[in-house]
Amino acid sequence: MKKFIVLGSGTAGLIAATMIKRRWGNKVQVSLYYDSKKKNIGVGESTTPTITHFLYKYLKVGLENFLKDTGSTVKLGINFKNWIPGTEYFHGFPEVDFSSTHYPESLYSIMTGTYDGGTNTNKATTTVPSHEFRYLHALHIDTQVFSKYVYEEIKDEVQFIDDVAETIVSDGKNIKSIIFRDSGEVTADFYIDASGFKSLLLKELNPEWVDITKYLPIDRAIAQQVPHNFDEVPSYTVAEATDNGWTWQIPIKGRYGTGYVYSSKFLSDSEAKEKYNSWLKEKYGVELTTEHIIEYKPGYYKENWIGNCLAVGLSSGFIEPLESTGIHIIVQQLMDFIDYNPTLKNLQYNRNECNRRNNTLYDEVTQFICLHYNTNREDSEFWRYMKENKSPWLQAYCEMCREEFLVESSIEKSKEFWHVDSYIQVSQGLKMFNPESIKDYLNSLPNGDTILKNCKSRHDELVKAKNSKLDVPHRSVLNGPVVINT
């Protein structure tokens, strides 16, 4: 039997303990240590569809019960507002109801001005497409309720110990032991670092840090919950650009999670509080009551599995939450660890592969988030900085969008997280394509005419299918039982 110590009981620690125990069962003993006096980060409420994979495959709970028991809501995507002032667009999960955003039909719809990805947002507010409902969606969760829920599901399989890690003993290559305040010195075969931003375990093993501050300088957030009695329950997160960053609005049953995100390089904490306070008053008629400011360094560790230590969640890095990627990254890190460590022999080759994937994942998230800032706004020092400091990847990508279009294979071969449709939705939302270049691009292809004809008829079919599709009211889904219309 292999012994695991998980350090930390935030979302990362709980997900790690669950996935490891449920994968290896009696072959592992999992002890989770946490410091009840050190609060979890307390944010992380908008997710990607990966969360449903965790629920079904590892936690083994049904969606219906989960929604009822936790007050979570269904998320179909993100509504981006004012990134180009006065405009909005929607980034939905694959195949969520926006027929003209699918590649290659999007070629046709963008060229002919019939693209509807950004304008149909209102339809998505209160309904969930019935036929896709079971898998192609994410959730908005209350992070504290979620933690408690996961704890209840696994408390008989995982040993939970409230104790403070005081000293980490390592030889620079492996963790040798952890000395806890009450339990004394404890050893294990594997150590999972889920200790949050401090990376208590991984940082003992000299990991290399990738600093992304130059391209994504946002490094502060203030969060506040706002009670809300929904008449209609939105099924998407709102990310609204401000003059110095952006705000989030996440609908959980009975309340919104909101947050104000900014860069300390361009805004002081007191200015941010003032601006957030005005925003809260205007949107929800409430005052800012929290003093707490969340600070972080934008970036990640190149390797998150060194020797016998795997870092997951915030201890492995953090990129601003614009595409709600935090929990996704945790689940992905664990899936890779599980895939690349079947015998628990901890082989160098497997560590290399796992680290390569982790690095690619963080790199792709960084690039995709950079893309959202390609607004060419110039109305503040912050936005001027973003315009003048585009990453080399973004500069090349902009040129491709302007001069050609996105060729499916160029995205699908190099990217794993988001598909070409996601890139198209965001890029079209930021008005990066040029219909004339798309025409040129099609003309340059040996079978351009046929592609265009096929796109047009496929587009017409999808629009017809979409108009005849039955949607389930979001509210009825949340109150269960789930009714699937066919």
Ligand X SMILES: Cc1cc2nc3c(=O)[nH]c(=O)nc-3n(C[C@H](O)[C@H](O)[C@H](O)COP(=O)(O)OP(=O)(O)OC[C@H]3O[C@@H](n4cnc5c(N)ncnc54)[C@H](O)[C@@H]3O)c2cc1C
E-assigned strand segments in 142-273:
159-162, 165-170, 175-180, 184-186, 190-193, 209-211, 220-227, 237-241, 245-252, 255-262
Nearer to ligand X, 44 or 77 (CB): 44
Nearest approach, Cβ of residue 283 and ligand X (Å):
18
Given a contact cutoff of 8 angstroms between Cβ atoms, the answer to whether 212 and 332 are in contact is no
Q: Which residues bind ligand X (CB under 6 A)?
A: 7-13, 33-35, 38, 40-41, 43-47, 164-165, 194-196, 198, 200, 221, 259, 294, 296, 313-315, 321, 324, 326-327, 330
Nearer to ligand X, 238 or 386 (CB): 238
Given a contact cutoff of 8 angstroms between Cβ atoms, the answer to whether 108 and 405 are in contact is no
Nearer to ligand X, 426 or 472 (CB): 426
Nearest approach, Cβ of residue 307 and ligand X (Å):
20
Nearest approach, Cβ of residue 270 and ligand X (Å):
19
Nearest approach, Cβ of residue 324 and ligand X (Å):
4
Structure tokens at 334: 């664990």
Residue 168 burial (CB < 10 Å; 0-12/13-18/19+)?
buried
Nearest approach, Cβ of residue 406 and ligand X (Å):
26
DSSP 8-state symbol, 55:
I
Nearer to ligand X, 40 or 332 (CB): 40
Nearer to ligand X, 197 or 393 (CB): 197
Nearest approach, Cβ of residue 42 and ligand X (Å):
7
CA dihedral 357, 359, 361, 366 (to 10 degrees): -170
Residues 6+ apart with CB under 8 A from 263: 217, 218, 219, 220, 244, 245, 382
Nearer to ligand X, 164 or 394 (CB): 164
Nearest approach, Cβ of residue 462 and ligand X (Å):
30
Nearer to ligand X, 81 or 390 (CB): 81
Please choose, from the candidates 108, 161, 160, 78, the residue with its C-alpha nearest in 3D space to the C-alpha of residue 372: 78
Nearest approach, Cβ of residue 22 and ligand X (Å):
18
DSSP 8-state symbol, 321:
G
Collapsing DSSP to helix, strand or coil, 37 comes out as coil
Residue 146 burial (CB < 10 Å; 0-12/13-18/19+)?
buried
For residues 295 and 58, give the distance between their C-alpha atoms in angstroms, rounded to a whole number: 32
Residues 6+ apart with CB under 8 A from 59: 18, 22, 150, 153, 154
Nearer to ligand X, 51 or 111 (CB): 51
Nearest approach, Cβ of residue 17 and ligand X (Å):
11
Structure tokens at 76: 């179909």
Nearer to ligand X, 27 or 38 (CB): 38
Residues 6+ apart with CB under 8 A from 398: 374, 390, 432
Structure tokens at 54: 């965790």
CA-to-CA dists, residue 102 to 22, 87, 289, 371, angstroms: 36, 21, 43, 19
E-assigned strand segments in 388-464:
none
Nearer to ligand X, 8 or 117 (CB): 8
Nearest approach, Cβ of residue 194 and ligand X (Å):
5
